[in-house]
Amino acid sequence: MKKVLILFLLLFSVASAQTVSGPESEKNPKLYVNGNFYELKFLKEQLPVVDLVNDRKDADIHILVTSQSTGSGGNEYLLYFYGQNRFDKMNDTIKVITEVNESADLVRGKIVRGIKTGMFNYLRRWGLEDRMSIGFAGKAPEAPAQKEDPWNLWVFRTSFSGYFNGESSSQYSSIYGSLSASRTTEDLRLSFGLSGSYNENSYNYDMDGINYEFTNITRSQSLSASAVKSISDHWSLGGWSSVYKSTYGNIDFEWDLSTGLEYNLFPYSESSQKQLRFTYKLGIMYENYFQETVYFKESEYLATQNASVILNLTQPWGSATFGIYGSNYLQDLTKYSVSLSTYFSLRLVRGLSLNCSFYYSKINNQLSLPRAGASVEDVLLRIRQLETHYSYSASVGLSFSFGSIFNNVVNPRFGGGGSTIYYE
- Give pLDDT tens digits for 222-241: 999 999 999 999 999 999 99
How high does pLDDT run on average in the chain?
84
Separation between Cα atoms, residue 64 and residue 74, nearest integer Å:
19
Separation between Cα atoms, residue 405 and residue 25, nearest integer Å:
10
pLDDT above 90 for 57:
no
End-to-end Cα distance, the chain: 47
- Greater confidence (309 vs 68) lies with 309
Contact 266, 274 (CB under 8 A): yes
3-class DSSP assignment, residue 325: strand
Q: Give pLDDT, residue 421.
A: 36
26, containing H or E segment: none
Q: Give pLDDT, residue 347.
A: 79
394-420 b/e with 16+ CB inside 10 Å = b? eeeeeeeeeeebbbbeeeeeeeeeeee
Separation between Cα atoms, residue 399 and residue 2, nearest integer Å:
39
CB atoms within 10 A of CB 156: 11
Please tell me the pTM assigned to this model: 0.72
pLDDT above 50 for 286:
yes
Q: Give pLDDT, residue 11.
A: 46
Separation between Cα atoms, residue 221 and residue 212, nearest integer Å:
31
Percent of the chain exceeding pLDDT 90 equals 47
373, containing H or E segment: none
Q: Which pLDDT band, with edges at 50, 70 and 90, does 318 fall under?
A: confident
pLDDT above 80 for 109:
yes
In whole angstroms, how far apart are CA 319 and each of 65, 155, 237, 348, 424? 12, 31, 28, 12, 7
For the segment 357-386, the average pLDDT, to the nearest whole number, is 76
Contact 326, 307 (CB under 8 A): yes
Q: What is the 3-state secondary structure (H, E, C) of 47-91?
A: CCCCEEECCHHHCCEEEEEEEEECCCCCEEEEEEEEECHHHCCCC
Contact 390, 7 (CB under 8 A): no
Q: Looking at 2-6, 306-310, 336-340, which range is the least confident one?
A: 2-6
CB atoms within 10 A of CB 381: 13
Q: Give pLDDT, residue 31.
A: 93
CA 335 distance to own-chain centroid: 31
Q: Which pLDDT band, with edges at 50, 70 and 90, does 221 fall under?
A: very high
- Strands 30-35 and 51-52, bridge-based pairing: parallel
pLDDT above 80 for 147:
no
For the segment 306-323, the average pLDDT, to the nearest whole number, is 91
User: Which residues are within 8 A (CB) of 23 and not within 5 positions of it... i.e. 6 or more apart?
Assistant: 51, 406, 408
Q: Give all domains of the chain, ordered by start, each with its CATH number.
A: 26-129 (3.30.160), 154-400 (2.40.160)
- Greater confidence (365 vs 403) lies with 365
For the segment 263-271, the average pLDDT, to the nearest whole number, is 91
